[in-house]
Chain A
Amino acid sequence: MLTILALLMLSAIPSPKAIDCSVNIMTPGHSGSGVVMKGGYVLTSAHVVDDCVEDKSKYDIVVWQDVYKKGKYIRRNITLCRIVQYSHLRLYDLALLEPLDVDFVKSSTKLYVGEVPELGTDVWHVGNYKSRYPGSLAQGILSQYDRKLPDTGPRHDQIQILSFSGSSGGGVFYADGTVAGILCHNYVPNTNLSFMVPSRIIIEWLSTTKYKGQFE
């Protein structure tokens, strides 16, 4: 009972999953962020890996996670990945990567599948800020639904959360650690005006692939 009480009181604190399943991505031309899902698959934005899309058989995407213990850096978990599903920026702007080492990160998370949350709901983002500060955690709120942005395909949800170049592809999480969306657009760079492809749109995209239902 004390545990339940503590959980209720701590509901405004993100699940450690938000940190544990967030990774950083580097391709020959870009860098960004991603989220580890069941089976070690990494969910990210298509535009983060679009320079690797021509030859999907090649494991030429570097994915890593820095691990800290008691405030101290202790090691880097790292693997190579290849693209197994890709939807261009003008469609869903999503990509699914398969790691060479499926156990490179022990933790994984799921997509949020419940009702559309209220505006003002707390969210957290973990991203590779400016491609120099990997694993940066930020807190914000759900700001508005269903935004159509220029030159992009999916309908985005707007979030009030700080993001930078390098945040793209990173997870946006609810307090229980489920994926609210994939941060994909910093419309006005380096500000709190950010956008994500929400989980309901990610589920719609995955439903057209062999990964349907796998990450829910």
Chain B
Amino acid sequence: MKTLTFLIVSLVASVSFANDADHKVTNALQETAVTIKAGGAEGSGVLISRGDRTYVLTAGHVVEGCRKTRKVIKDGIEKTLVEFDDITVIKVFVEDGRTVGKQEMTAEVIKYSDADNGHDVGLLMIRKKNFSTLSVNFCEANEFPALGDMLIHVGSMLGQSGSNSYTQGVLSQLGRMIGKMEYLQTSCTAFPGSSGCGIYTKSGKYVGMLVRGAGETFNLVTPIQRLKVWSEKAKMEWLFDASKPVPSEKELRAAPIED
């Protein structure tokens, strides 16, 4: 009898603890998810705060409509400059089942990798300093989900009107190849506008960025491992490793914007 009572108390306690943990994960994912408006396109992104700056990681194709080129002659040599129009980043606040407000911020594109030949990544820097202190938690190799594990999507399905949509699915497959690029496949429900959003483990660790879909529950995700490879090549390890020093804004802007 004592054993049974102990079992029941343990089970109730573990259910209660799990609910509390789920609540914290849900809140954290909501607080680090944003909608991106880039020209006529809308997508999703996640916040990464380093120092007094807040960065937004998104998909390259979300911001590509704002890309412009300009021919200049420097030292007698013609060069092509790549520039981007400013991007709008929107953070929505919801309390007790009610939307209570939103913040709209202007951001500049500081790094871009195109969807066709690159890694389909865009990194934005919010122009306002100290916009947020929040960052997504990146998944480490030993925490990486296995096939069939539950995954969470938090993205702006169909754009701003569907901001911070929380959906679930599973890790459907690893190692999907398109050209030379490797993707994860997930059954998390997603729609246009979800591009650039984070895909997370049940404990809220960022597994990768949703970039492609072939149906609402057939979606492809750039895995965090590949994003790290990209960041290393771009000398931006600080993005996924908070212990690495962040270059000055002058250094960031001096670096080439494209791969």
- Assembly CA distance A67 to B216 (angstroms): 33
How many residue pairs link A and B with beta carbons under 8 A? The number is 80
Contact at A192–B217, with CB atoms within 8 Å? yes
- Assembly CA distance A155 to B163 (angstroms): 15
- Assembly CA distance A116 to B161 (angstroms): 21
Contact at A1–B189, with CB atoms within 8 Å? no
Contact at B167–A5, with CB atoms within 8 Å? no
Q: Which residues of B contact A188 (CB under 8 A)?
A: 158, 191
Contact at A120–B166, with CB atoms within 8 Å? yes
Which interface class (under 10, 10 to 19, 20 to 34, 35 or more) fits A?
A: 20 to 34
Contact at A193–B22, with CB atoms within 8 Å? no
Q: Is A143 an interface residue (CB 8 A)?
A: yes
Interface string of B165-206 (1 = CB under 8 A from A): 111100000000000000000000101000000000000000
Contact at A192–B189, with CB atoms within 8 Å? yes
Binds B, one of A18-26, A55-63, A73-81, A144-152: A144-152
Interface string of B1-43 (1 = CB under 8 A from A): 0001101100110010001001100100010000000000000
Q: Is A198 an interface residue (CB 8 A)?
A: yes
Interface string of A106-122 (1 = CB under 8 A from B): 00000000011011100
Q: Which residues of B contact A147 (CB under 8 A)?
A: 161-162
Interface string of B68-106 (1 = CB under 8 A from A): 000000000000000000000000001011110000000
Give which listed residue, B22, B96, B167, contacts A160 with CB less than 8 A: B167
- Which residues of A in the span 165-214 have a Cβ within 8 Å of any Cβ on B? 187-188, 191-193, 198, 200
Q: Which residues of A contact B15 (CB under 8 A)?
A: 8, 11
Q: Which residues of B contact A141 (CB under 8 A)?
A: 166-168
Q: Is A45 an interface residue (CB 8 A)?
A: no
Contact at A5–B8, with CB atoms within 8 Å? yes
Q: Is A128 an interface residue (CB 8 A)?
A: no
Majority SS at the chain A contact face: mixed
Contact at B168–A120, with CB atoms within 8 Å? yes
Give which listed residue, A5, A11, A118, A142, contacts B7 with CB less than 8 A: A5
- Assembly CA distance A118 to B29 (angstroms): 13
Asked if A200 meets B97 with Cβ closer than 8 Å, knowing A8-B12, A120-B26, the reply is: yes
- Assembly CA distance A120 to B96 (angstroms): 15
Contact at A160–B26, with CB atoms within 8 Å? no
Asked if A193 meets B157 with Cβ closer than 8 Å, knowing A146-B97, A157-B97, A158-B162, the reply is: yes
- Pick from B98, B158, B161, B167 the residue with the most CB of A within 10 Å: B167
Contact at A8–B11, with CB atoms within 8 Å? yes
Asked if A158 meets B165 with Cβ closer than 8 Å, knowing A116-B96, A200-B97, the reply is: yes
Asked if A118 meets B26 with Cβ closer than 8 Å, knowing A141-B166, A143-B167, A144-B166, the reply is: yes
Interface set of B (CB-CB < 8 Å, partner A): 4-5, 7-8, 11-12, 15, 19, 22-23, 26, 30, 94, 96-99, 152, 157-158, 161-168, 189, 191, 216-217
Interface set of A (CB-CB < 8 Å, partner B): 1-2, 4-5, 8-9, 11, 115-116, 118-120, 141-148, 155, 157-158, 160, 187-188, 191-193, 198, 200
